Amino acid sequence: MLPEKESDVAEKGCATLIHTEVSNICNQSQVDSYKKMWVEKYKNLETLDGITCKVCGGHDGEVHDIDEFQVGLTAPPFHPRCRGTTIPVTDNLLSKNRQRSARDPETGKTVYVNEMTYEEWKENFVNEKGQQAWDYYEKSVKNLKIDTEQLDRYKAVLGKDAPESLEEFQKIQQALKKQSIQVTGCIDAQKAHFIYAAGAAKKKLIVTYSELRAKELCENYRLFDKNVLFYPAKDLIFYSADVQSNLLVQQRIRVLQKLMEEEEVTIVTTMGGIMDHLLPPEVFQKQVETVESDSEFDMELWKKKLTAMGYERVGQVEGSGQFAVRGGILDIFPLTEENPVRIELWGDEIDSIRSFDVESQRSIENLDRIRIYPAGEFIADDGRIKKGLAVLEKEAKRLADQFFQERKTEESARLKAFAEEVKQSLTQWKQMSVLDGLAPYFYDRMVSFAEYFPKEALVVLDEPNRLWEEAQAIEKEFQESMTNRLEKGYVLPGQMNLLCESQMASEKLQKHRCMGLCMLEAAGPQWHFAEHFSIDVRSVNTYNNSFELLVKDLQQWKKKGERVILLCASR
């Protein structure tokens, strides 16, 4: 016996074959009858509705000699499950005063129109209603069976809260697929389910207003889709003093890896994560190195390369972002891997690549290849460092001289010491992490995290008004803090450009197809949505361990004939 999925596929295949062969036999029989009645020509006839495909629509109205009859070329069926047929051509049938039946796009009922081809009928509809109306009609008709089944499932679960008609349900679905929409009345507990149900996009970006809410939403969404990650924001003001910065960079680099290597992934972040800058995707992609077994390997070159990529050389690898060299063995712990990797050489060629355990040093798995991502978001070669330092030192000298002329000797000395420390960190100690706070001096172009997503990705805005308030608060705090530090000689003027402005961040998000989810109020003027929907959701009482209240509500719901689903963490 075939498994259920394979059985369904086999059944559909048999149905398609039977439908197509029956159509073929009918059309062949019609042509035989035309010949017996001395009919010299025939005409292809297709249905005037949204189901007819472009191939069949192009053949509608064609007139051919009986001797030219050839299935698939001049006569239907032109493809599997083709609905086309033929009619004999007489002087009466060629008259333009005749009428033919069509399916009314708005009512779905049969109407009669003047004699015209399918292409002419479609052109009349588009000219009258517009291309967008035609696209909606075509998709709703072709998806009628699937949408009907899905609506029935929604009604079975949601009861009175489900959409009342199929037309309403299809409008919501079609709107989500082609333009930005806003949905009000959506409570926090429902948002993860709602986002997943709207998921026609392969890649989704969910933006919320706080890190705590982002982590909560990420865990809720993981119930529906395991391939979801949290992208943390950097605190640009205190980032250099953050003792967990290595862990934060690791989380961010892993997200970038998922976006570049996987087709389907969902990322949850905050407005802070959208407003800090990154290297352009194409530039960051060039920093990723691939090592394959049995390929040539220059150990000296790789020592310099890994240092430039932000990895720290140590005696023995103990944590991510480190590498160690012992003779012809290179141990490296990429930020994107759970375990370090050991590359063993035989001469100048790679003999083996294996992952191993940090504590026991025992091998875990043999690998054919490994992709090594940078240990930092901003890395630079010697040429870029030299060029960037020249600009930085010039600006530091100008500002230090200005402080000195204003008799701010302490600020002037502090700024000179800062510039010298940066120079030593990059040229002598090769600390690439310094670049994170000085990226504007070393890169001409930086982008927002939103630009790592393709244009067809779905961006979900959790409470758009709160997002805007959070973005403005972040921008205000950053500007005030950096302005004060600039006056004291702690930072350079170029570091004021580390943060993307709130208005610009909003515009970059809205270059994608957005869905705004609001509990109560509508989104403000800074967010632009093509359509607005409102849903009515009832929250469930928490009961606070009172089973009596729960039983009472269950009895009431049962009397109303409502369907109740109980979800428990354990048995």
For 207, list phi and psi in degrees, rounded to 5.
-115, 125
Task: Give the whole-angstrom CA distance, residue 329 versus residue 166.
Answer: 65
Nearest to 534 by CA among 526, 524, 523, 545: 523
Task: Give the whole-angstrom CA distance, residue 451 versus residue 482.
Answer: 26
Q: How far is CA 290 from CA 27, 254, 295, 372, in A?
A: 59, 16, 11, 6
Residue 522 is given by DSSP the state P
Helix or strand holding residue 532 (H, E): strand 531-534
Q: Which residues pair with 531 in a beta bridge?
A: 181
Nearest to 462 by CA among 279, 211, 125, 104: 211
Taking residue 304's Cβ as centre, other Cβ atoms within 10 Å add up to 13
Taking residue 268's Cβ as centre, other Cβ atoms within 10 Å add up to 29
Question: Would you call the peptide bond into 77 cis, given omega within 30 degrees of 0 as the criterion?
Answer: yes
| Token code pair at residue 233 | 């924001």
Nearest to 258 by CA among 321, 318, 335: 335
Q: What is the pLDDT along the chain (571 residues), one digit of tens a residue?
A: 445 445 555 777 888 888 888 888 988 888 888 888 888 889 999 888 888 888 888 899 899 998 889 988 899 989 998 988 998 887 665 555 678 888 877 677 888 888 888 888 888 888 887 776 777 677 767 666 666 666 666 566 555 555 555 565 566 666 666 788 888 888 888 899 888 877 668 899 999 999 999 999 999 999 888 999 999 998 877 655 444 458 899 999 999 999 999 889 999 999 999 999 999 999 999 999 999 999 999 999 999 999 999 999 999 999 999 999 999 999 999 999 999 999 999 999 999 999 999 999 999 999 999 999 999 999 888 899 999 999 999 999 999 999 999 999 999 999 999 999 999 999 988 888 889 889 999 999 999 999 999 988 999 999 999 999 999 999 999 999 999 999 999 999 999 999 999 999 999 999 998 999 988 777 677 898 888 888 776 667 778 778 888 888 888 888 888 778 777 766 6
Biggest distance spanned by C-alpha atoms of the chain: 111
| Token code pair at residue 295 | 């390929």
Helix or strand holding residue 228 (H, E): strand 228-231
In this structure, the strands spanning 85-88 and 110-114 are unpaired
Residue 44 is given by DSSP the state E
What string of H, E and C letters represents the secondary structure of 416-452? Answer: HHHHHHHHHHHHCCCCHHHHHHCHHHHCCCCEEHHHH
In this structure, the strands spanning 513-518 and 458-462 are parallel
| Token code pair at residue 449 | 């995290």
Cite the beta strand spans of 430-525 per DSSP E. Answer: 447-448, 458-462, 513-518
Nearest to 226 by CA among 266, 184, 171: 266
In degrees, rounded to 5, the angle at the alpha carbon of residue 535 between the alpha carbons of residues 530 and 537 is 150
| Token code pair at residue 564 | 């109740």
HSE of 147 in the Cβ direction (CA atoms, 13 Å)?
Answer: 17
| Token code pair at residue 178 | 């082609």
Residue partners of 444: CB distance under 8 A and separation at least 6: none
